[in-house]
Amino acid sequence: MGKTTTAAATAIHAAKSGRRTLLLSADASHSLSDVLGRRVGASSVEIIPNLTAIEVDAHAEIKRHWGKVHDFLVSLFEHQGIDGVLAEELALLPGAEEITTLFAVDEFARSGDYDFAVVDCAPTDTTLRLLTLPEVAHKSVRLLLKIQRSLAKVMTPLAKGMVSAPLPDAAVFAELEALLYAKLRGLRERIVAEDTTVRLVVTTEKMVIEEARRAFTDLCLFGLRCDAVVINRLLPEAALREPFYREWGDVQKDRTVSIAEAFAPLRILSGVLQREEVVGATALAEHGRDLFSDCEPDALLASVEPISFHRKGDQYSVTIPLPGADLGALNIAKVEGDLLVKSASMNRALKLPRRMALLDLSEAHFRDGVLSVFFRVSPVGSAGTPQGNA
Amino acid sequence: MGKGGVGKTTLSLATAMAAARSGHRVFVLSTDVAHSLGDALGRPVGPKPVEIAERVVAREVGALDELAQSWTEIQSWLRELLRDEAGEMVVEELLVFPGLEELLALRAICEVEATGDYDVCIVDCAPTGAALRMLRFPDALEVFMQNFFSLERAGAKLLRPLLGGTKAGRLLPSEAFFQAFERLYEDVRRVRAILMDNERTTARLVLNPTQVVIAEARRTFAYLGLYGIATDAVLINRVLPEEAASGYFERWSEREGAGLDEIAASFPVPQFTAPLQNREVIGTHALDQLAEQTFARTDPAEVLMHSRPFRMRKVGTETSIEIDLPGIDKEEIDLQNTGDELHLRVRDVSRRIGLPRSVVGREIAGSRFSRGVLYVRFCP
């Protein structure tokens, strides 16, 4: 899709306009070195004046960040007759790598005197979920610790003969909990902060657009702000004159419109397919200038409140900010997994979260420029109404 | 396998069409959370297997559907766990805990094998980072099972009668939960054996002839070797056909030539070329055509090159391990011996290699890296 290229072009453009910029790769499979055309590693490298780049090394970060957790596990394992836990083993535990990467990103971003940090991440894998979930991660961790702790309380006296591990006492758990809680809360605050925003990168291929639509819904679902979609690899006029690409030109025109409908009110940025692959600082700077020809790379590019999803008992709802709209003129329908909102002047197609896609539309309100659409569970035996009007 | 956006789904399906044409019964399984099979076929594919063409069945593994349908024990425990905590959020989306997706993907492969109804199973993987996480998952599960699982289970058994109907009691996983988990563990072990059997499973790398993509694919090739998975072909997608290579695309085309040369030099396996089409490849008809152009008369269900990237050798009393790690620098390799395991790290990826009984506890006599092969010798 060009996520790394877009991230690098954004950062280089910002640095060239005088912002002290940090460019971080949080994708487990780093491509930053390849895109910049020079080796970037786990410690900061200056790419051009004002621009520092880092590829986060999750293993090294686990060694740094998880000191206490690590010590705790080592002592537990030693008593079980195992030679201790290597950081490598800890890193294998699901989620450890992703959450550590996020901590590292946060820490790097705070560490230097940066005006602007650009993070290149793989949006459709687990990272996204963790990115959106420090709050829940914290709650789950707390519950797990609670269970562990109650286990430990009973078992410490009982277990002496049974289990060879002396179970850690409540104080150790409390310490662990505090450690994780503070960190996770800090992370969550950073992620939902007013000045943090997500930019999605798509091409005009159907598959890519559909995937980005699902990512957009997931991001909204967990309260993250998105402000722009970059359409990458757009064929310029000169390319469309080639007969081979004629049909691609028609497709491109249609898809550009459907992208605008699917991601509104996000700002659409156009990344044109260059005459050759965009690699190295010079080409990236040029690409960045094209992308941000009429806006600033570090500005919030869409100022509307984000779309949000809610649940109260069995009633689910979505609120969509539509400043200036008129409820009477709105046509609202659910078609397959999409919520369609139409009026004379606009078309919206929002992919619903998986759970809500199974429900029926029930009602809609419009207040202070915000549309609320409610859903309910289909009556048993009914096939569900495919369409409904507000 | 391949980087995001290179055309993994399209070529997985094209491979399926070509294999079906050669008479095989084919199962296509998408393990990418962001499923695209439906988008590429122009018709919905879901968690239930559907026939998409003659002799071709497809399925997208859905974590939430799996949880809802077959994992009542695990699901009800999670629900209880999150009940008071999730507040007004859409709880179901939260049930997908880290590792679950990898677990389900591996288990789905196991299920296809268990039916015995198919000659070949094509796995359309997630982009590289997530796909490697899937391959690494059996190791992770092993760590968990060996070190935590039995303790938790014993604890829960002890506590269940004590905590009875209290809130803490509700939060305690049931014995059925542990049994469900154990069955999963067995499945994952079985899949690992299938994946590492070089005569049964091979990886195909999908790439585009551009610098950034090639660089990533080269690393992936080595990582697959590290996991003991043989790569038997590279599929080069979106190669400009002659009529698409002039005018605006002249520079692209020149660079592409250099890229193709680099691919030929970097990947010592058969190569197949899928040309860029003049329209989007959607639907079985278009996929069939692409399959024809890509594979011609080759039956892609065959193992296209036999290799064993991970070899254990015994010469006299000396045991050694050899691992193919092409395209990697010596400095990028880190090796540790814990006595019963070898911890091998290559750039961003690590693997725990359980040592055979004959060398457990032996010191490493020496290791050397030459021409893309790592040799580790153990003391007799």
- Contact status of B93 with chain A (Cβ, < 8 Å): yes
In a domain, A389, yes or no: no
Within 115-154 of A, beta carbons closer than 8 Å to B belong to 122, 124-126, 129-130, 133, 136, 139-140, 142-143, 146-147, 150-151, 154
- Contact status of A181 with chain B (Cβ, < 8 Å): no
Chain B residues whose CB is inside 8 A of the A206 CB are 39, 280, 282
Mean pLDDT, all residues of chain B: 86
Q: Which helix (H) or strand (E) holds B203?
A: strand B202-207
Whether residue A350 sits in one domain with residue A201: no
Q: Which residue has the higher pLDDT, B67 or B346?
A: B346
CATH number of the domain to which A252 belongs: 3.40.50.300
In a domain, A351, yes or no: yes
The yes-or-no verdict on residue A323 having pLDDT over 70 is yes
Mean pLDDT, all residues of chain A: 80
pTM (two decimals): 0.85
Longest dimension (CA), chain A: 81
Whether residue A342 sits in one domain with residue A212: no
Whether residue A358 sits in one domain with residue A212: no
Chains A & B: contacts with CB separation below 8 Å: 224
Strands (E), chain A: 21-25, 45-48, 51-55, 116-120, 198-202, 226-234, 267-272, 308-312, 315-321, 331-335, 338-342, 347-351, 360-367, 370-376
Q: Does residue B57 contact residue B28 with C-beta atoms inside 8 Å?
A: yes
Amino acid at A175: E
CATH number of the domain to which A344 belongs: 2.60.40.790
Residue of B nearest to A249 (CA): B279
Domain boundary among A274, A302, A330: A302
Which of left, alpha, beta for A326 (phi over 0: left; psi -120 to 50: alpha)? beta
The yes-or-no verdict on residue A172 having pLDDT over 80 is no
Q: Which of B30, B88, B147, B360 is the mutation pick for testing A, counting most A CBs within 10 A? A: B147
For B1-136+200-306, CATH number out of 3.40.1130.10, 3.40.50.300, 3.30.1950.10, 3.60.150.10 equals: 3.40.50.300
Give the residue range(s) of CATH 3.40.50.300 domains in chain B: 1-136+200-306
What is the spatial distance between Cα A350 and Cα A214, in angstroms, rounded to a whole number?
A: 9
- Nearest-Cα distance to chain B for A59, in Å, is 8
Residue of B nearest to A355 (CA): B92
Residue of B nearest to A211 (CA): B34
- A329 is in which domain, residue-wise? 308-376
* pLDDT score, position A82: 45
* pLDDT score, position A166: 47
Residues 6+ apart with CB under 8 A from A74: A84, A85
Within 21-50 of A, beta carbons closer than 8 Å to B belong to 27-31, 33-35
Cβ of B279 within 8 Å of Cβ of A247? The answer is: yes
Whether residue A202 sits in one domain with residue A84: yes
The yes-or-no verdict on residue B132 having pLDDT over 70 is yes
Q: Does residue A338 contact residue A351 with C-beta atoms inside 8 Å?
A: yes
Whether residue A31 sits in one domain with residue A96: yes
Cβ of B212 within 8 Å of Cβ of A31? The answer is: yes
* Mean pLDDT of the region A162-175: 55
Nearest-by-Cβ selection for A125 from B88, B129, B216: B129
- Contact status of B242 with chain A (Cβ, < 8 Å): no
- The CATH class, in words, for B310-378 is mainly beta
The sheet with strand A331-335 has its strands ordered as A331-335, A338-342, A347-351
* Mean pLDDT of the region A99-128: 79
* pLDDT score, position B16: 98
Whether residue A321 sits in one domain with residue A290: no
Residue of B nearest to A158 (CA): B158
Q: Tens digit of pLDDT for each residue in B298-336? A: 999 999 999 999 998 888 888 889 999 988 889 989 888
Give the residue range(s) of CATH 2.60.40.790 domains in chain B: 310-378
Whether residue A203 sits in one domain with residue A326: no
Chain B residues whose CB is inside 8 A of the A203 CB are 5
Q: Does residue A11 contact residue A23 with C-beta atoms inside 8 Å?
A: yes
* Mean pLDDT of the region B374-379: 90
What's the structural domain count of chain A? 2
In a domain, A189, yes or no: no
Chain A residues whose CB is inside 8 A of the B216 CB are 29, 31, 34
B140: pLDDT confidence band, cut at 50, 70 and 90?
confident
What is the spatial distance between Cα B64 and Cα B68, in angstroms, rounded to a whole number?
A: 6
Decide if the complex's ipTM is over 0.95.
no
Percent of chain A with pLDDT over 70: 74
Whether residue A318 sits in one domain with residue A273: no
In a domain, A93, yes or no: yes
* Mean pLDDT of the region B9-25: 97
- Contact status of A338 with chain B (Cβ, < 8 Å): no
Whether residue A367 sits in one domain with residue A298: no
Whether residue A116 sits in one domain with residue A211: yes
In a domain, A176, yes or no: no
Cβ of A1 within 8 Å of Cβ of B97? The answer is: no
The yes-or-no verdict on residue B168 having pLDDT over 80 is no
In a domain, A109, yes or no: yes
- Contact status of B343 with chain A (Cβ, < 8 Å): yes
Residue of B nearest to A132 (CA): B94
- Nearest-Cα distance to chain A for B155, in Å, is 6
Whether residue A323 sits in one domain with residue A222: no
- Nearest-Cα distance to chain B for A299, in Å, is 27
Whether residue A372 sits in one domain with residue A247: no
What is the spatial distance between Cα A337 and Cα A386, in angstroms, rounded to a whole number?
A: 10
